Structure 1
Amino acid sequence: MIDEAKVVAGIKIPDSAMAKAATELVRDTETELLFHHSRRVFLFGALTGERKNLDYDPELLYIGAMFHDMGIMDRYASDTERFEVDGANAAREFLSAYDLSERDVDDVWDSIALHTTPGIPQHKRPTVALVTAGVEMDVLGIAYDDFTDTEREEICSCHPRGLRFKHGILSSFCLGTIKKPQTTFGNVKADLLSYMDPTYKRENFVDIILSSKWES
């Protein structure tokens, strides 16, 4: 079904050599849940771009969407970086084999690294803004009613959420953070570990300031 659906909800799935290589890499690396989530992120992001009349590059949006959770997987996970940064680095390495401008590669990197940092991506260029828009729709339901029933149903028919997607995506996020809880400081994954890991202790920004070595 994945390869047969060339157009989903009016959005053409990119089929260049680069896009096909990304699809195969992500499908071979990620869980089925994350693969389908990533494709939905692309589709919801692209529909958002169409609705807002943004001049976006579907190929760059596709790479950003497909790689945005790659840092969760052991193959790409570092010991110290946020999984979002690990995924962004994986995308940059992948794109080095293709003739893209530095600006385009940077946009893809930003789209992945910033996708869990609310309040910033929507002010960036379309690739960055739309990856986050797709993530926010699929995970948080933000702008849910801006999509038609037909659009949502067609996307989820091609790339199903499953009965327990909400719990599954939380478990996936936990996998990407539980071994390096220090990377949750200042981002939404602190909420995740507070819920998923009874041993986790959230760092407090105020405490860090007040306990620093500065005298005043």
Structure 2
Amino acid sequence: MNKNIAGVELPDSALARAAFEHVRGIEPELLLHHALRAFLFAALMGFREALEFDANLLYVGMLFHNVGLNPRFNRSPNRFEIDSANEAREFLLAQGVDDYAATDVWNAIALHTTPGIPDHMSALVALVGAGVQMDVRGARYYEFTAQQRDAIVQAFPRERGFKTKLIEAYARGMEHRPETTFGTVNADVLDRWDPDYRRLNFCGLVLGSEWPN
């Protein structure tokens, strides 16, 4: 694997290698390549904005951010982001990473689908959210040169039909726990994927509560 892509060095520490091997064993290539592209976009943003961040922790956060979509979490009562964050924290602590850093990664993963919050937290939290949003929906697309985008996609291709396949991967990871999508962008996924899905409405919950007024 090329270790320098678009001017970004892929982490090659023992921690980074262990994380890659762990996630590669449980995640399809579609999501693995998405995670690696998101890392590269996030790192470039961090360099451009002169942010202080740990590349190894950013790498681990990106690798783990969709692990909660794995079928073994189908019966989980959590949002998939929480399952992903829990897996990452457990992995990091087992690798000897301190609790403060592991918690920062946990926050980054747990909040990566919650618009408007990550930008006001640590650099790591902000970068995980921004990198994912760039690769998923092209947020800040034109802040990157065509050469940077091409180099990243050449290294970790967006396979044909990536957009549709990604939505399907999200949906299949959440269709067994639709109640966890309340108040998140995940509700949009199931709304498009499942014709029988009916999203909860906050106003309806307020007006339909047991309070008399």
TM over 0.5: yes
1:170 is the counterpart of 2:167:
yes
For the Cα contact (< 8 Å) 2:75–2:177, is it kept in 1? no
Equivalent residue for 1:50?
47
Equivalent residue for 2:194?
197
Q: 1:76 to 1:60 in 2, by over 3 A?
A: farther
For the Cα contact (< 8 Å) 2:80–2:173, is it kept in 1? yes
Equivalent residue for 1:69?
66
Q: Offset at 1:78?
A: 4.7
Which segments of 5 or more consecutive residues in structure 1 lack a partner in the other structure? none
For the Cα contact (< 8 Å) 1:76–1:90, is it kept in 2? no
Q: What is the rounded CA distance, in whole Å, between the counterparts of 2:2 and 2:168 in structure 1?
A: 28
Partner-residue secondary structure (3-state), 1:88? helix
Q: For 1:71-86, what aligned pairs fall within 5 Å after superposition?
A: 71-76=68-73, 78-86=75-83
Q: What is the rounded CA distance, in whole Å, between the counterparts of 1:64 and 1:17 in structure 2?
A: 15
What count of residue pairs does the alignment treat as equivalent?
213
1:115 is the counterpart of 2:112:
yes
Partner-residue secondary structure (3-state), 2:72? coil
Equivalent residue for 1:183?
180
Runs of 4+ aligned residues of structure 1 deviating over 4 Å after TM superposition are none
Could you list the per-position Cα deviations for residues 101-135 of structure 1 after superposition, in whole angstroms to 9, with x for gaps in the alignment?
A: 22211110011100000000011101100011111
Q: For 1:1-216, what aligned pairs fall within 5 Å after superposition?
A: 4-76=1-73, 78-216=75-213
- Aligned partner of 2:83: which letter? D
Which segments of 5 or more consecutive residues in structure 2 lack a partner in the other structure? none
Q: Offset at 1:77?
A: 5.0
Could you list the per-position Cα deviations for residues 57-106 of structure 1 after superposition, in whole angstroms to 9, with x for gaps in the alignment?
A: 10110011000000000235552100000000000111111222222111
For the Cα contact (< 8 Å) 2:31–2:66, is it kept in 1? yes
Q: Which moved more, 1:68-77 or 1:198-207?
A: 68-77
Q: What is the rounded CA distance, in whole Å, between the counterparts of 1:144 and 1:22 in structure 2?
A: 28
For the Cα contact (< 8 Å) 1:76–1:87, is it kept in 2? no
Calculate percent identity across the aligned residue pairs.
Answer: 48
For the Cα contact (< 8 Å) 1:70–1:76, is it kept in 2? no
Could you list the per-position Cα deviations for residues 128-182 of structure 1 after superposition, in whole angstroms to 9, with x for gaps in the alignment?
A: 0001111110001000000011110000001000121100100011011111000
Q: What is the rounded CA distance, in whole Å, between the counterparts of 1:79 and 1:54 in structure 2?
A: 35
Q: TM-score scaled by structure 1?
A: 0.96
- Aligned partner of 2:79: which letter? R
